[in-house]
Amino acid sequence: MEAPLTRVLRERGLTPNAWWVLTELSDAGIGTVLPLGRWARRGGLPASSVTVAADLLSRRELVRCRRDSDNRRVVLAEITDAGRQLVAQVRDDLDAATADVHALFTAEERRELAALLARVVSSDADTV
């Protein structure tokens, strides 16, 4: 059985790494330009994996990438309006795909679960 996230990403032509880059850029806010290397380290991903993901997203005009004018080795990325729209669509698709799981919990339980999962995600990977 295919996990909802895997299925939704496949249907939208995204890899998990590309989705991670796209959501990080989206969540960073409008107009935020981020160095890909820093996000690779933050996510515990090889820089090459983030570069491949950013290239995929750039070809689809979901992000814009450019070299830092002060340090040409640094690649900066920002999300486009099309990228923001895709993030919203994928999140809607995921909500629909997981509606049956959501139905198992009350609204308060879902909020509590989300808070607990956010703590796990934001914790140091070595402590999990």
**What single-letter DSSP state applies at residue 126?**
G
Q: Is the pLDDT of residue 128 over 50?
A: no
**What single-letter DSSP state applies at residue 15?**
-
Q: Check if the beta carbon of residue 111 is closer than 8 Å to that of residue 64.
A: no
| CB neighbour list of residue 94: distance below 8 Å, 6 or more residues apart | 4, 5, 8
Going from N- to C-terminal start, the domains of the chain cover: 4-97
Instruction: Give pTM, 2 decimals.
Output: 0.76
Q: What is the DSSP string of 43-88?
A: HT--HHHHHHHHHHHHHTTSEEEEE-SS-TTPEEEEE-HHHHHHHH
Q: What is the architecture, at CATH level 2, of domain 4-97? A: Orthogonal Bundle (1.10)
pLDDT tens per residue across span 19-69: 999 999 999 887 788 888 887 888 888 888 999 999 999 999 999 999 988
* CA atoms of 57 and 80, how far apart (whole Å): 10
